[in-house]
Amino acid sequence: MIEAANLTEEIIAVAKRLLPGTKIIKLKGYSARNSEYSKAKHPIGKWKDANDLTSDQVEIFLNKKHWIGATIPAGRIVIDVDEEEKGLLLKELLEGEGIHHHAIKTPNGYQFIFAKSSEPKIKQVSKHFTAIGIKVDTKPPESGYIVWPTKNTEGRFILTQSIDRLDELPNYLHPVWNGEKTKDYDFPIPFTDQGARNTSLYEFARRLRSCDTPIDIIEAGVHLIYEHFIYDKTDFPVSDLKPLLNSVLKLEVSKSDRKSTSMPGIQVIPIPYKVINNALYKTESKAIRGGGVETRDVMVARQVPIIKRELHNVERPQVYYELTWNDRGSQVNELVPAGTLATKKDLIQLADKGFACNDNNAKQLIDYFDKMLAFNEIDRGYMVDRIGHIKKDLAHPLLAKNYDILPGDQGEQQLVEAFQISGTVEEWVKNVFDRIKSHPNALFFVLASFASILLHDLKIDPFIVDLTSSTSKGKTTALKIAASVWGTSELVNEFNATKVSIERKSAFLNSFPLLMDDSRKADEKLLQSFVYTFSGGKSKGRGTLSGSQREQTWRNIMLTTGEVSLNEYAAKAGGAAARIISLSDSPFKNVDHTFFAQIYESLEQNHGAVGLEFLKQYQKHKDEYIPQFYRTKDHYISKSQGNEVLTRLSLYYATVHFAGRLLKEFLGIEMDLKALDTLFDIIAQDNKAIDKPKELLEELLIQLDSSRRDIYYDYPPNNIKALYRNDTLCLTPAFLKEFLGPEEKMIRREWMERGFTVTSFRNDRKVDYQLVKHQGSSFRIVQINREILDEIGLDFKEVKTK
């Protein structure tokens, strides 16, 4: 135990001697059954705030298989080489040049400790090339820590300790460019055969020059590489370095701050490219006899494209670049996916935007962009390509966030531009809302526009509020008032749209309402699919060559208008009724033309402010108010009286009602919310679509009543749809399948459960069909309960004339 304690004290003493002022910290190591090296290096707790460990504590931790770390103190810097061969090359170079340092052998390479007390400051970086072609990680003074060698760190030990005063970190070991951004580039040291040493060395020196590396460091780096990393110098005398370096040093480094180019945000135009007369040129080089290099400048493009920013999508791992170029005096900015700058086909598409790209120069431009990314620190930012709830935040075009809203196409850009503010909240309330709040249908419609942003937090699925009435009754006016909550009337879309268009607008608006005017303009065959697609909250799954596209999602409210309810277009789709709140009456009653004139004048001057303020207040107070929603929800569910469809609709009514309560609380807007309660009762009573199975049965019976020639009484008709026997009607399965379509089984099951049809048992299973004889023939039929016929008021008894 005494010997172990002494060993621990010696470990700490060496750490303090090699890193004067270091602090010993606790690392996870292979304790607690951890077997992952990446986790083993992690500190336990907040290492910056931790106390320096004592020898006793270190001994206890080491016995539990923990590791210890040593922080990098002021006056010291650590250079880490993670390649064993390259690390050994550097070790031999330092010893050959007489540079005093400490060295630690690691499982993957080497760590070198130098003094660092002078400028320039060095950042903590990873996998950066140095001027001698070796990639290093840096751990600057007072930044980070290293794993300290102990009995628990196999393959990690102190290799050498300098007995002399440590030298400052040599300039040729300062990081120059990020090797992670040039993974396709390899500097082949050491040179073990004659090969293309001259060309490789020139290419490496040219890259150093393009990074604006000081000339003396380039020269020093090239000479050190020649001296230590080129083993066979038989036909490569040191005199060949002079013309090589002269060719490199003649290359011009173009800076972005030159007034003639006006190129924001980029430090260096990468060599061999340069700017001449505001055009992009490339310096082409070729070796000539005698060891020299001949160069000439060739124009690549009449414009100089600059990568202004690198933007990462907040929602998914996708990178975009913001390009900028000068086109005849106008600065053009364009956002493109990262793949565009690497693919000829995609890059040429930018020609439509005025970019000077074609079949001839696309390959060179791709190389130019690759080098620009490699040799420049591009400003990095974040972006979203839609609005509404994005992870834990909510994006609104007029709310400042730490990311940009950058729509993917012009259609979405138009929607973003429609989010504008004019006037004030008070003026909108006085001149718009106060004029419509006494009209229940219009009030509900406008409150639904506010309610759209609540769906995400309330976990409510998307739904539709459909306002229907005859022509010129104010439907479009009500829709524009709903749009004025968030912006201009440009937020209103025509129903003359494709299914894909509806999907994309829904996904882009995400949490904000989708406003669709006049369902009469839509293809009737598509309306039912519109209902299901939107209320599903997810776009159609589509395949790609390598898999499937990302499915877009949304959680908002669609506000629609039309002369015929959307329920009618989906008459046989029972599920549609549970997705649509149908307001089938004029939104404004007992008003004259001056009412609409005043409304439209007010909308021009007042829009957008109230929605933005509502959003701000909601985000600030939502945790306080959301629990109150559930009381409203329970109230409407109790009014549903167990009706399945009405129960689902009650959630939607509760959401809109809750939005009204929040408006009263947040903005002090006066309104009679009891009118919404009454509206629910009226719609529940009048809207037959709420009981879709019964409505379909009535439609079927009414059709048969008007076409009795298809009912088999005493003589068989040409097309038998039903039989009349025992004073009741019996339907044939073939007719039911034809009339009910894909939902036949579901509707028949509902009829049976509710007693609309007569049931029997077959093989201990309740069924709605039976085999009967009629006029000497056997038929399989579904018999309608006589009481239902009486309730509907139909009598199919045949009246025989004498």
The first and second tokens of residue 395, run together, are 């994006």
In three-state secondary structure terms, 97 is coil
Residues in the chain with pLDDT values less than 50: 1-2, 255-266, 801-802
DSSP 400: -
Q: At what angle do helices 55-63 and 2-18 cross, to 10 degrees?
A: 110
Position 120 scores a pLDDT of 83
Q: Rounded CA gap, 585 and 317, in Å?
A: 48
Q: Tell me the pTM.
A: 0.63
- Which neighbouring-strand residues pair with 322? 309, 335
CB 308 within 8 A of CB 324: yes
**C-alpha triplet 344, 411, 587: angle, nearest 5°:** 165
| Strands (E) located in 54-101 | 67-71, 75-81
The first and second tokens of residue 748, run together, are 């028949």
Report residue 633: phi and psi, to 5°.
-60, -45
The first and second tokens of residue 488, run together, are 């201009």
Position 604 scores a pLDDT of 93
The first and second tokens of residue 249, run together, are 């040093």
Closest CA to 323 of 290, 299, 357: 357
Position 184 scores a pLDDT of 73
pLDDT digits 0-9 by tens, 376-433: 778 888 889 899 999 888 999 998 787 888 887 788 889 999 999 999 999 999 999 9
The first and second tokens of residue 524, run together, are 């009737």
Please name the residue ranges forming H helices in 274-424: 344-348, 362-375, 410-418
Position 741 scores a pLDDT of 86
CB 479 within 8 A of CB 515: yes
Position 248 scores a pLDDT of 80
The first and second tokens of residue 613, run together, are 């303020």
In three-state secondary structure terms, 573 is coil
Report residue 4: phi and psi, to 5°.
-65, -40
Position 736 scores a pLDDT of 94
Q: Rounded CA gap, 263 and 325, in Å?
A: 8
CB 272 within 8 A of CB 251: yes
